[in-house]
Each structure stands twice: as C-alpha cells, then as structure tokens.
Chain A
Amino acid sequence: MPHIDLPEEYPGIRSLFVYQPETAAPLCHLAQVLLHDPHPTLTAGERELIASYVSNLNTCKFCTATHSAIAKHQLGSDLSLVKHVLADPETAPISDKLRALLKIAAKVQTGGKNVLSEDIETARSEGATDIEIHDTVLIAAAFCMYNRYVDGLATWQPDNEAFYDKMGEQRAREGYKPSSINFTLTEELKKS
C-alpha cells in the first residue's frame, strides 16, 4: 500500500503525476529532453536502454518494466535484446561504445564518485563524445531520482506485462509531454 493517499487506479509514477501535477510537469519535461527529443548521436532506444538498465540496478519494478517496453518498441520490437542488456551488457549484441556508457551508468548508480577517469577514457576510446558522456551520467542520475520517488512512496506496481507493453508502445511513439500522457486506466489493467 502506498505511504500516502494516491489515486488507486493509477500505477507507479502515474499515480504521483496525478497526485501532484505541479511537479509532474518538470519531471516529464526532463524525461522528454533526455530520452525522447532528437539527439545528435544517441538513438532514443539507446537512451531508453540506459534508463531501463539503471532502473533494474535500483530494482524499481515499475520503471524497469516501463522503460524496457519503451526500449523494445524503439529497437525493432526485440525484447530479448533489452533483457540481454539488463542481464549482462558485456555479452549483449550492442556497440562497444554503448557498453562503455552502460558501465559509466552503473557506476553512477552506486555513487557519482565511483566514475573513474579510466571509465571515461574507455568510453572515449570507443568514440564517445562529451555530450554522450554527459547525457549518460545525467540519465543515470535522473533514474536514481525517478526510482526513489516511485519506490520511496511505495506506489502500486502491478505485474502485468501486457500493460507495460502497451504503455511502452505509446511512450515510444508520443514521448513524455504531459499533454500526451494518457491517465486513463488501460483495459488490460482493469482485467487483471
């Protein structure tokens, strides 16, 4: 049960967005710029993989399932690739640059000071740019925020793969603009 009185028909961060629309606006805006808006070099799918990977390290079920589904829909509907990255980026079929960036993201998750110059040098030797390094660190830091917000207030996080998949497909297409976030409960969730 959530620690505060949240609208019970909405799961995860959605219940918090409905509870407090004033803070929802900049939280959605940040996600939109970091993950969805055009980026000079990182695809939206690559950025969602970083978000999903960090959420999984923080064991935040709602954020992991949501961003895995978004990543899946942005990466040719390949959920096995997303699951492989979460389980073991070392052996996943991704670029060496993204592998190096995920390593930096994992260090950020455990504490900013754990990111070492060697980690940055490795990423640079695989072609990572300043903006890619910056955005990787900020995406990882931002998900340490979103995950704590969702878990710290003990929001409802259903087990329902079809629900996350539908939400992921919508987010992959529409992004995070608050106006596009559909707060109505999906039929999948009602049936569960």
Chain B
Amino acid sequence: MPHIELETHLPGITGLLEYRKDTGQPIRELTQILMRGESTLTEAERELIATIVSHGNQCRFCTTAHTATADLLLGEKATSQKMKEDIESAPVSEKMKALLTIAAATGKSGKLVTSEMVTRARSAGATDAELHDTVLIAALFSLYNRYVDGMATAMPDNEAYFDTLADRLVAHGYMRLPQGYDHLKK
C-alpha cells in the first residue's frame, strides 16, 4: 500500500505525477526531451538505458515498464533480457555496451563513472552529446526509481497493464495525456 493516498487506478509513477501535477510537469518535460527528443541514440537505445538503471536499482515497476517499451520498439524481447543478465553478451553495438556500462555505474553513484569507461565509449564512436544524455537519463531514472519505491506505489494487478503503458509511451511519449487518465478506471 502506498505511503500516502494516491488514485487507486494509477499504479506506479502515474499516480505520483498526478498527485502533484506541478512537480510532475517538469519531470515529464525532462523525460520527453531525453527519451523522445532529437538524438543520435534511437528511442529503443534510450529505453534500454532506462531499463538497465531501473534494473540495477531493483525497481520492479520501472524495469517492467521500460523493458516492455524497449521490446515494443525493437520488435523482440531477447535484447533487453540478455542485457539485464549481462551487458557484455547482449546483442547491441560496442558503443551501446560502453554507454550501458556508464549508465549502470551512474545509477549507483556518479563518482563510479571512470575515465576508462568514457574512453571506451569514445573509441566506439560515442559523442559528447551521447555521453551527456546517457548520464542524465541514468540520473533521471535514479530519481524515478527512488520516487516510485520510496512512496511504496502499487504494482498493476495484471501484466497487460504494461503492454498498454508501452503502447502509450511509444505512440504518445511522456507528456501528460490531454484528457487525463480517468479512462483507466475500471
């Protein structure tokens, strides 16, 4: 049960972003820019970064949500699964392996990102903008994971919730739905 009273039809992060819309809005805007804005990283690659950080922080809601979104964008489930088991053996580019390693380190502490990690990413072709965005996405999901778990938000009562959520994050992105979320009430 959540530590404060939240809308029962909105598990995970959505109930929190609706509880205080004035803090929810800049969090949504930042996420939209980072995850859906112009970038040399694909949306699927950025969802994999969000997934590896949420996985490292053991946040079940965020890990499931962003795994489902990455899988939908990639059209397969093997990449995210292998990445969560072991970044080095995942079927992603050498650049992505290096960026995922930096993201996983950032998720634990910013100080764990080493010059060696950055050099490896650069040798594999990573740009300043990609390094910047990787660290900020990892930092942002460190916020989300702590917010979702620190308030003890509910998990959805059925797995299909995450399919609907992934559809919405792919089709609509991260900004609040103009009509709100009342249609999710049973």
Cβ-based interface call for B154 (8 A): no
Contact A112 B146 (CB under 8 A): yes
Chain B interface, >50% SS class: helix
Among candidates B20, B23, B118, B142, residue contacting A148 with C-beta atoms closer than 8 Å: B142
Shortest Cβ distance from residue B121 to the other chain A in the assembled complex, whole angstroms: 9
Contact B30 A113 (CB under 8 A): no
Interface size class, chain A: 35 or more
Residues of A within 8 Å of B149, CB to CB, are 111-113, 115
Residues of B within 8 Å of A33, CB to CB, are 22-23, 26
Shortest Cβ distance from residue B6 to the other chain A in the assembled complex, whole angstroms: 9
Shortest Cβ distance from residue A96 to the other chain B in the assembled complex, whole angstroms: 19
How distant is the Cα of A25 from the Cα of B107 in the complex, in angstroms?
A: 23
Assuming the contacts A26-B30, A154-B113, asked whether A130 and B5 have C-beta atoms less than 8 A apart, the reply is: yes
Chain-B contact segment, one of A41-49, A72-80, A134-142: A134-142
Chain A residues at the B interface, C-beta cutoff of 8 Å = 3-5, 16, 19-20, 22-23, 25-27, 29-30, 33-34, 58-60, 104, 107-109, 111-113, 115, 117, 120, 130-131, 133-135, 137-138, 140-142, 144-154
Chain B residues at the A interface, C-beta cutoff of 8 Å = 3-5, 16, 19-20, 22-23, 25-27, 29-30, 33-34, 37, 57-59, 102, 105-107, 109-111, 113, 115, 118, 128, 131-132, 135-136, 138-140, 142-152
Q: Which are the 3 A-B pairs with shortest beta-carbon distances?
A: A112-B149, A151-B110, A152-B110
